[in-house]
Structure 1
Amino acid sequence: MTPGRPVLVVTDMQNGFIREQSAHIIPVVADLVRRWQETGGDILFTRYLNYPGSPFERFFDWKRLRSSPDIDLIPELLPYVDHGVTLEKRIYSPFTPEGIALFKQRGWEEFYFCGIATESCVLKGAVDAFEHDFTPWLIADASASHAGTEAHRAGLLVARRFIGPRQVVDLRDIPDHLLSPG
């Protein structure tokens, strides 16, 4: 852990969220995680866990992501998980009481968000970081929606309105020192 260094938040890259519409970011995120870790950067992997009676079940009639293999992180990220931190959550955002305590403990104040789904969990994490007076970045080309391109674009549009147009970036915009050793 490097004080003051940003954390990469890999949002809900779980088997249950991978669909044809989101699968294209698997190699992108795996490469980003590999490069981030090679520079000694901190990584937070989030995992959403659904439960009986959840708002997702009550309002969407959605009962997935309750057990393995749906809740498991995708195999492409498993080589990196032991060198990061994994946070389980039952809401969209990593800003749970446990998450906030972890952020304070680690001294994380700048967050780079990627993963699934742009218009919900990725967006909500970035907005919550903004509202907690942290610096949020949403990596557009390392995020996707299992609901398709239209939902992804909608998430980016809303993110620009919520956290600022310059806070939505592409991989090429990430400072070199965060992705290149030395």
Structure 2
Amino acid sequence: MEGGKSALLVVDMVRGYFDPQFSYAPLEKEDAARVTRGVQSLLQSFRARNLPVIYTQNYGRRTAWGPVDKKNPFLRWQEENRKKVAGAGFTRKTSLNTEGSPYAEVHDAVGPREGEIVVHKPRYDSFYSTHLEVILKGLGTENLFLCGVNTNNCVLATAYGAFCRDYRVFLVEDACATWNGPELHRAAVSEVAASLGWVTACAEVEAHLAPEAPAKG
């Protein structure tokens, strides 16, 4: 890999997917545990080197005209017709995923530290209608490591967004999962490898990064 400054983007690691108190949109238990461990490992690696960690949250905002996320025709159609999410046994309920709801909070096990940036995004792509590109440019980021959920939705859309802005895209496969099941997870990983960037694993990330920053005395 060429040089350049790296950043970690933690995509939508929210309680609605991981917290057992919720039953609306949980990942499979094995996937949830695997991804949580993977993201924890990545956080440790990036923080030890004083490299930027950025989080995203995908939720709707209520306005005078109703919830913003209900404006999307496909999501509205899915919910109104009670269509089950592909690969999952539940229907979409956008009303639960709104600003300020526990569902939308970052999962405590991988939560941000003081000073780490949390970006609200209204759609799958973390660059769409957000300040993410401005943030990354300000940080001098060239290499963007992606982890989180859902692999074939928000993670993949963000990988496309990063590719189109000429970042080096690294998908950390074992720190990603989807509620749509393993087949669509694998398809998204294959798409990244074929067209967008590099697929790597938590155990390999250390080799991509600069040595750890010296301890502050």
TM-score, normalised via structure 1 length: 0.86
1:112 corresponding residue in structure 2? 145
Larger radius of gyration: 2
Is the alpha carbon distance of 1:176 and 1:159 closer, same or farther for their aligned partners in structure 2, counting shifts above 3 Å?
closer
1:58 corresponding residue in structure 2? 76
Aligned partners of 2:166, 2:8: CA distance in 1, in Å?
17
Where does structure 2 lack aligned partners over 5 or more consecutive residues?
19-25, 62-66, 80-91
Identity %: 25
2:5 corresponding residue in structure 1? 5
How far off its partner does 1:177 sit?
6.5
Asked if 1:23 is matched to 2:35, the reply is: no
Aligned partners of 2:170, 2:40: CA distance in 1, in Å?
18
Aligned partners of 1:50, 1:37: CA distance in 2, in Å?
30
Deviations 1:106-152 (A, max 9, x none): 22221000000111111111111111111111110111112222221
How far off its partner does 1:43 sit?
0.6
The equivalences for 1:1-182 within 5 A come to: 4-18=4-18, 19-21=26-28, 22-24=31-33, 25-51=35-61, 52=67, 53-55=70-72, 57-61=75-79, 62=92, 63=94, 64-66=96-98, 67-78=100-111, 80-96=112-128, 97-164=130-197, 167-176=198-207, 178=209, 181=212
Aligned partners of 2:164, 2:152: CA distance in 1, in Å?
17
Q: What RMSD, in angstroms, separates the aligned Cα atoms of the two structures? A: 2.2
Paired residues in the alignment total 177
Deviations 1:69-110 (A, max 9, x none): 1000001123x4324211111011221341222222222221
**Is the CA contact (8 Å cut-off) linking 1:113 and 1:136 kept in structure 2?**
yes
Which deviates the most, 25-34 or 138-147?
Answer: 25-34
TM-score, normalised via structure 2 length: 0.73
Moved over 6 A (4+): none
Aligned partners of 2:27, 2:206: CA distance in 1, in Å?
30
Aligned partners of 2:201, 2:186: CA distance in 1, in Å?
13
Aligned partners of 2:194, 2:208: CA distance in 1, in Å?
28
**Is the CA contact (8 Å cut-off) linking 2:163 and 2:169 kept in structure 1?**
yes
Where does structure 1 lack aligned partners over 5 or more consecutive residues?
none
Is the alpha carbon distance of 1:120 and 1:179 closer, same or farther for their aligned partners in structure 2, counting shifts above 3 Å?
farther
